[in-house]
Amino acid sequence: MDADSSSGVGPARYVGQSRFIRLWPPCMIGVAVIQLLADPGLVFYAVVFAAGAAVFAALLPWRFVVVDEGIGLWFPFGKRRFLRKSEIVVRAGLGGAVAYPVRNRRLGYPLTDGLVEKRRMLLRAVLAEHGFRLA
């Protein structure tokens, strides 16, 4: 997915990332550990924070790259996923863009570009220019 010629993936057409999404799950894990070390009676709250971090990290990619073949996603704890162009529909309207797999249209991956998405119209134009299905 790193757009080098040896991997068979074309050059990156658009790159978006959010530092907040990358750093929030590890911070939540840190708070859970601190709670557990400070007072063992706070096990419930430590588990809630750790579970929240796991769910947050599993569902929200912190970085995405649009290439000719599809969209590459990077998640906070190292998981990576590649969505082929033929297998996704991207909803890119007035809000942020969300990539939905065709087989499961209920759960999508938000394509966030920071807390304030200044370049969302550019992302929509790049997706349309490269033949992605837009909704």
pTM of the entire structure?
0.81
DSSP string covering 16-69: EE-HHHHHHHHHHHHHHHHHHHH-GGGHHHHHHHHHHHHHHHHH--SEEEEETT
Task: Determine the average pLDDT of the residues in 113-118.
Answer: 71
What phi and psi values does residue 105 have, to the nearest 5 degrees?
-80, 0
What pLDDT, in 10s, does the model give residues 69-99? 999 999 999 999 999 999 999 988 777 889 9
CA angle, 133 as apex, 62 and 94 as ends, to 5°? 60
What pLDDT, in 10s, does the model give residues 27-56? 999 999 999 999 988 899 999 999 999 999
Measured CA to CA, the distance from residue 51 to residue 45 in angstroms comes to: 10
Provide the 8-state DSSP code for 108: -
